[in-house]
A = this chain, B = another copy of it.
Amino acid sequence: MENRIERIKTQLHSQSYKLTPQREATVRVLLEHEEDHLSAEDVYLLVKEKSPEIGLATVYRTLELLSELKVVDKINFGDGVSRYDLRKEGAEHFHHHLVCIECGTVQEIDEDLLGDVEKIVERDWQFKVKDHRLTFHGICSKCQKKSE
């Protein structure tokens, strides 16, 4: 945890950004909720618990900055809000998601499932892949059992 913050600090400094207390508080919230998919508002409320003076605009600006640095990924599951998801350290690619259309749960898949598909895209479409977004919509195992 402290290590990761340290590394993010270095990354910020290398581009002459600062790791202010507000930014650190935001990063900590993200680290403590790695499995969730928080909206800016969610992050704001959680940061506010420990640093009540923070403003929503700062959270937006911080998330935007972390996005640029590829520390977080901005995703959108189709409800009107952007969600922010911490990138696994060292992960070249964004992980995948399983969204349950019954209960709304979002599950993460860290495994790289797209290696072969990317090769096909690069070969057949001459498209140099840099990143991807893959989300499956369907019914999670719990909901399948429920409806039996």
Interface residues of A (CB under 8 A from B): 74, 76, 78, 82, 98, 100-101, 107, 109, 113-114, 116-118, 120-121, 125-141, 144
Contacts and interface: CB of A to CB of B under 8 A. Distances in A.
B117 A140 contact: no
Nearest to A121: B136
Number of copies of this protein chain within its complex:
2
Contact of A141 (B98, B125, B141): B125
Contact of A98 (B98, B107, B121, B138): B121
Nearest to A143: B128
A107 B120 contact: no
A127 B113 contact: no
Contact of A107 (B74, B118, B125, B133): B125
Most B C-beta atoms less than 10 A away, residue of A121, A136, A138, A144:
A136
A125 B117 CA distance: 20
Contact of A117 (B114, B130, B139, B141): B114
A137 B141 contact: no
Contact of A137 (B125, B126, B132, B140): B132
Contact of A127 (B116, B132, B139): B139
B113 A117 contact: yes
B128 A138 contact: yes
Contacts of A78: 74, 76, 82
Given A98-B127, A116-B116, A128-B144, 10 more contacts: A78-B82, A98-B125, A107-B127, A118-B136, A127-B139, A131-B136, A132-B134, A132-B136, A133-B134, A133-B137
